[in-house]
Chains A and B, each alone.
Chain A
Amino acid sequence: MRDRRAVLELTPEGLFCPAGGFHVDPWRPVPRAVVTHGHSDHARFGHGHYHGAAIGEGILRRRLGADLPFTGHGYGAPFALGDAKVSLHPAGHVLGSAQVRIEVEGEVWVVAGDYKREADPSCAPFELVPCDGFVTEATFGLPIYRWDPGARVIDDLVAWWEANAQSGRTSLVFCYALGKAQRLLAELGQRNGRAVFLHGALVSMVEAYREAGVALTPTAAVSDQPKSERFRGELVLAPPSAMATTWMRRFTAPATAFVSGWMRVRGQRRRRGYDRGFVLSDHVDWPDLIRTVDETGARRVICAHGQTDTVARYLREAKGLDAVAIQSLRDGAGDDG
């Protein structure tokens, strides 16, 4: 079919660019890795050297170690790796998330990592990068996943918080520690600007965002408050792992909520036992996923995570694209939503 080697190959370690001699988000240790963002299923331990977006450096160093062998790059600034011309472009997923543009002999591939199209005050907005081949996520790759406008979800959340506050209850909001938590803090900063209390597991990533210059609503750690503090009427953010643990004894009859794209489906809401589910995701929903593939102009698409088979089939049958699904080892490792 093609004389030369493909720009990207799937190896046991993950996606590999032979011309550049580097992997993108590899799941096993490799000499040289370009990482799209700091979530643990993308940025793993043990690589020889890391490349990533400069603005995400604080997050990576907190997660993987202060002495991480890391080279940061500004968005849009090209650099050479081997014979490949590489540049990073905002993916709009979390702070420091990047699409990796790889150009080899005039052929352009973009590995988007995780991304979303919706506005998020805690990170740079997604930039559309035209390409020949596009590697997309498919976390929410079914047409049932369609997000209501984020602003409306935040309105609902603030209204829920206020209703709880009126009856003196604590609003306990569970969300992922990197990304969703800071997006909420940035959104709330633009709303009522009231202080929010944090579970200890969130403190470090919130600091990383502040150091990178992201404006967040004021925060304080739950653990720093006196034992007598009852958090009545307050909003507390915590990671999902804190749900139904002894930590929750700190609060009397709290109202609980989970903020995630998964909350779109009733079974998921009920199974997890939260009082409320707010549907807010840092991933593209179905219409934005299909639209993004369209807009890149790519003729070849690799679906790399989530509902890969479904999205690839749809792109083949409905859009006539050369689309394939790859099963990455990170599937099943706990989907962030």
Chain B
Amino acid sequence: MKAFAALYAALDATTKTNAKIDAMVAYFAAAAPADAAWALFFLTGQRIKRLVGSSTLRAWALEATDLPPWLMDESYAAVGDSAETVALLLDAVPTTLASLELGLAAWLETRILPLRDLTEPERQAAVLGWWRGLDREQRFVLNKLLTGALRVGVSRGLVVRAIARLADLDPAVVGHRLMGPWRPTPAAWQQLLEGDDGAADASRPYPFFLASPLEAAPASLGPRDRWLAEWKWDGVRGQLVKRQGAVHLWSRGEELVTERFPEIERAGLALPDGTVLDGEILAWNDAGVMPFAALQTRIGRLKLSAKSLREAPVRFLAYDLLEEAGQDVRGVAQGERRRRLEALVATAPPALGVSPLVEAADWPALAALRLQARHHGVEGLMLKRRDAAYRAGRRRGDWWKWKLDPLSVDAVLIYAQAGSGRRANLFTDYTFALWDDGRLVPFAKAYSGLDDKEIAELDRWIRRHVVERFGPVRQVAPVQVFELAFEGIQVSARHKSGIAVRFPRIARWRRDKPASEADSLASIKRLLSARA
């Protein structure tokens, strides 16, 4: 645990990628396989179920420290994180650091996970005892584990590079072996380093190839006919794996989502064994693609009701072929992969289709089609180089996303709330409003889009212009105007304004605009009709 806590602190302390890789390599080189396997579990973003709620954790810490509850609340407000607040406050309680050092795996398997089977008082007694035996760094990591919120600031790519360096392997090999959920066992760790023995997991997907945003003019890409153009769908990216008679559907977050989309699973069974498709999961009815919000009704639910199956039927639109007849064909040229994909899917049931090519003779013609993207219910275009291989991760040059410019609106800041983590103590969560009949109606929240300097400046302004407090929320004078950009707009009964926007973020601080000149709800509702 000490070594893992030190690794966490080292990764947390630096933003330099080489320092992060060095820290991981050093940790893995020294760790027992069981500990390394668990560390990798957390480093790749997987989590254990929350065993203790954060308010419970704070309540236990109150008992241990004998502070008045309001002081705990104030401390928490200043820190913005329960696990850290508790770890800091417990410095007031003498530790008995004599306890035996246990490895990460032993901590999880013999202490933390078995909490599940204990009663609440037993859990409390156990945790209070552990706190007394750990230093602050370890207490913090323990608290994060207990609350199921341990997140480590490394990208998957860095973890892959660290393991590749440790095991002297090609990062692409490590990346592929790491696909799918990681089972934190010594055997899995050994297999990762030494390779599996042919009995590869039949469900294992390939690393996704990610497109980069096209910022230059498309003509800079060269002749139009070297590129395939497809719509950029607003769904869930997925990989459909058919092997050994079974279908596995993976989301881009490497989550197995087969059971949520039985239509796709059934359609996939028609594919020959040894087939892997890359494509998009979309809600799709007789009229064609449905808004993302419809798909969300299928994602959010654990149990699928007949109603949601009927109201939001789904479809898998494939746009790439990664494995054919059991052979990895990612090295085959894009155009040829596409040709084989079309042949393969031609006879599949309707729930499985191929994303059509967008045909246009030249770039200007394609640009004109792109402008109609919103009418087609898509986000823009994808451009894929005809002779490109299917690569792993985000590599520039072969796949470009050419999205529509976002919609935007000028809105007034009306509420602010302090953020958490890096933004604890700063007012960074903003609510914006639009005019409606002389009143300001809240319509969107946005958390990002300002740089650190602007955040600090706005924070100072907010502190001086609080009109009213509602718990942690501050109502501020309606003065500051911001241009908000967003990707889509929906009618919503759940929102006061009657609309919901997708991916709202701050595009610009409109210091030049008085609040009275911000946009009205009516003007944004006109965008709704434009979409239909």
Also in contact, A143 and B65, with CB within 8 A (given A265-B78, A267-B81, A276-B13): yes
Bound-state Cα–Cα, A265 to B13, Å: 12
Bound-state Cα–Cα, A317 to B460, Å: 30
Residue of chain B at shortest CB distance from A266: B84
Contact assessment for B71 and A143 in the assembled complex, using a CB-CB cutoff below 8 Å: yes
The smallest beta-carbon distance between B64 and chain A, in angstroms, is: 12
The smallest beta-carbon distance between B407 and chain A, in angstroms, is: 31
Is B74 in contact with chain A by the CB < 8 A criterion? yes
Bound-state Cα–Cα, A287 to B91, Å: 11
Most A C-beta atoms less than 10 A away, residue of B15, B16, B74, B423: B74
Chain A residues in 8 Å Cβ range of B423: 267, 271
Is A318 in contact with chain B by the CB < 8 A criterion? yes
The smallest beta-carbon distance between A173 and chain B, in angstroms, is: 15
Contact assessment for A310 and B74 in the assembled complex, using a CB-CB cutoff below 8 Å: yes
Contact assessment for B75 and A270 in the assembled complex, using a CB-CB cutoff below 8 Å: no
Residue of chain A at shortest CB distance from B67: A143
Bound-state Cα–Cα, A268 to B456, Å: 13
Contact assessment for B16 and A275 in the assembled complex, using a CB-CB cutoff below 8 Å: yes
Also in contact, A310 and B71, with CB within 8 A (given A144-B79, A265-B79): yes
Is B201 in contact with chain A by the CB < 8 A criterion? no
Pick from A267, A314, A317: contact of B422, CB under 8 Å: A267
Contact assessment for B80 and A143 in the assembled complex, using a CB-CB cutoff below 8 Å: no
Bound-state Cα–Cα, A276 to B463, Å: 29
Q: Which of B406-457 contact A (CB under 8 A)?
A: 420-426, 452
Contact assessment for A143 and B92 in the assembled complex, using a CB-CB cutoff below 8 Å: yes
The smallest beta-carbon distance between B258 and chain A, in angstroms, is: 38
Pick from B85, B422, B426: contact of A144, CB under 8 Å: B85
Chain B residues in 8 Å Cβ range of A277: 13
Chain A residues in 8 Å Cβ range of B84: 265-266
Chain A residues in 8 Å Cβ range of B88: 144, 146, 264-265
Is B68 in contact with chain A by the CB < 8 A criterion? yes
Chain B residues in 8 Å Cβ range of A310: 71, 74
Is B12 in contact with chain A by the CB < 8 A criterion? yes
Q: Which of B66-98 contact A (CB under 8 A)?
A: 67-68, 70-71, 74-75, 78-81, 84-85, 88-89, 91-92
Is A213 in contact with chain B by the CB < 8 A criterion? no
Do most interface residues of chain A lie in helix, strand or loop, or is the interface mixed?
helix
Is A332 in contact with chain B by the CB < 8 A criterion? yes
Contact assessment for A318 and B74 in the assembled complex, using a CB-CB cutoff below 8 Å: no
Residue of chain A at shortest CB distance from B14: A275
Q: Which of A290-337 contact B (CB under 8 A)?
A: 307, 310, 313-314, 317-318, 332
Bound-state Cα–Cα, A318 to B424, Å: 27
The smallest beta-carbon distance between A284 and chain B, in angstroms, is: 15
Interface size of B by Cβ–Cβ distance < 8 Å? Answer: 33
Most B C-beta atoms less than 10 A away, residue of A144, A264, A265: A144
Contact assessment for B92 and A142 in the assembled complex, using a CB-CB cutoff below 8 Å: no
Residue of chain B at shortest CB distance from A277: B13
Chain B residues in 8 Å Cβ range of A270: 12, 421-422
Also in contact, A332 and B463, with CB within 8 A (given A146-B91, A270-B421, A271-B422): yes
Chain B residues in 8 Å Cβ range of A332: 460, 463
Chain A residues in 8 Å Cβ range of B75: 142-144
Q: Mark A88-119, 1 if CB is under 8 A from B, else 0.
A: 00000000000000000000000000000000
The smallest beta-carbon distance between B11 and chain A, in angstroms, is: 11
The smallest beta-carbon distance between B326 and chain A, in angstroms, is: 47
Q: Which of B449-498 contact A (CB under 8 A)?
A: 452, 460, 463
Contact assessment for A267 and B79 in the assembled complex, using a CB-CB cutoff below 8 Å: yes
Chain A residues in 8 Å Cβ range of B70: 313
Bound-state Cα–Cα, A21 to B16, Å: 56
Bound-state Cα–Cα, A264 to B12, Å: 14
Bound-state Cα–Cα, A268 to B81, Å: 12
Residue of chain A at shortest CB distance from B422: A270
Contact assessment for A143 and B89 in the assembled complex, using a CB-CB cutoff below 8 Å: yes
Is A200 in contact with chain B by the CB < 8 A criterion? no
The smallest beta-carbon distance between A280 and chain B, in angstroms, is: 15
Bound-state Cα–Cα, A318 to B70, Å: 12
Is A269 in contact with chain B by the CB < 8 A criterion? yes
Contact assessment for A267 and B80 in the assembled complex, using a CB-CB cutoff below 8 Å: yes
Also in contact, A142 and B78, with CB within 8 A (given A271-B422, A332-B460, A332-B463): yes
Contact assessment for B74 and A273 in the assembled complex, using a CB-CB cutoff below 8 Å: no
Also in contact, A142 and B74, with CB within 8 A (given A267-B81, A267-B425, A332-B463): yes
Contact assessment for B85 and A267 in the assembled complex, using a CB-CB cutoff below 8 Å: no
The smallest beta-carbon distance between B236 and chain A, in angstroms, is: 31
Contact assessment for B68 and A318 in the assembled complex, using a CB-CB cutoff below 8 Å: yes
Residue of chain A at shortest CB distance from B455: A271
Contact assessment for B91 and A317 in the assembled complex, using a CB-CB cutoff below 8 Å: no
The smallest beta-carbon distance between A170 and chain B, in angstroms, is: 14
Bound-state Cα–Cα, A276 to B12, Å: 10
Contact assessment for A269 and B13 in the assembled complex, using a CB-CB cutoff below 8 Å: yes
Bound-state Cα–Cα, A146 to B92, Å: 8
The smallest beta-carbon distance between B167 and chain A, in angstroms, is: 24
Also in contact, A275 and B13, with CB within 8 A (given A143-B67, A267-B81, A314-B71): yes
Chain B residues in 8 Å Cβ range of A275: 13-16, 19
The smallest beta-carbon distance between B172 and chain A, in angstroms, is: 29
The smallest beta-carbon distance between A68 and chain B, in angstroms, is: 31
Bound-state Cα–Cα, A332 to B456, Å: 11
Residue of chain A at shortest CB distance from B16: A275
Contact assessment for B12 and A266 in the assembled complex, using a CB-CB cutoff below 8 Å: yes
The smallest beta-carbon distance between B379 and chain A, in angstroms, is: 32
Bound-state Cα–Cα, A276 to B71, Å: 28
Pick from B16, B71, B74, B424: contact of A267, CB under 8 Å: B424
Chain B residues in 8 Å Cβ range of A142: 71, 74-75, 78
Residue of chain B at shortest CB distance from A314: B71
Residue of chain B at shortest CB distance from A257: B13
Pick from B16, B74, B452: contact of A271, CB under 8 Å: B452
Bound-state Cα–Cα, A268 to B88, Å: 14
The smallest beta-carbon distance between A335 and chain B, in angstroms, is: 11
Bound-state Cα–Cα, A277 to B80, Å: 18
Q: Mark B10-50, 1 if CB is under 8 A from A, else 0.
A: 00111110010000000000000000000000000000000
Q: Mark A187-199, 1 if CB is under 8 A from B, else 0.
A: 0000000000000
The smallest beta-carbon distance between A101 and chain B, in angstroms, is: 30
Chain B residues in 8 Å Cβ range of A307: 74
Also in contact, A266 and B68, with CB within 8 A (given A146-B92, A271-B452): no
Q: Mark B352-367, 1 if CB is under 8 A from A, else 0.
A: 0000000000000000
Bound-state Cα–Cα, A310 to B75, Å: 10
Residue of chain A at shortest CB distance from B460: A332
Chain A residues in 8 Å Cβ range of B92: 143, 146, 287
Bound-state Cα–Cα, A269 to B10, Å: 13
Bound-state Cα–Cα, A30 to B519, Å: 49
A-B pairs, top 4 by smallest CB distance, nearest first, are A267-B424, A144-B88, A270-B422, A144-B75
* A-B contact list, 21 entries, CB within 8 Å: A142-B75, A143-B89, A144-B75, A144-B78, A144-B85, A144-B89, A265-B78, A265-B425, A266-B81, A266-B421, A267-B420, A268-B424, A270-B422, A271-B422, A271-B452, A275-B13, A275-B15, A277-B13, A310-B74, A313-B70, A332-B463
Beyond contacts A143-B92, A269-B13, A275-B15: 17 other A-B pairs, Cβ-Cβ < 8 A, are: A142-B71, A144-B75, A144-B79, A144-B88, A146-B91, A146-B92, A265-B88, A265-B425, A266-B12, A266-B79, A266-B81, A267-B79, A268-B424, A271-B426, A275-B14, A275-B16, A307-B74
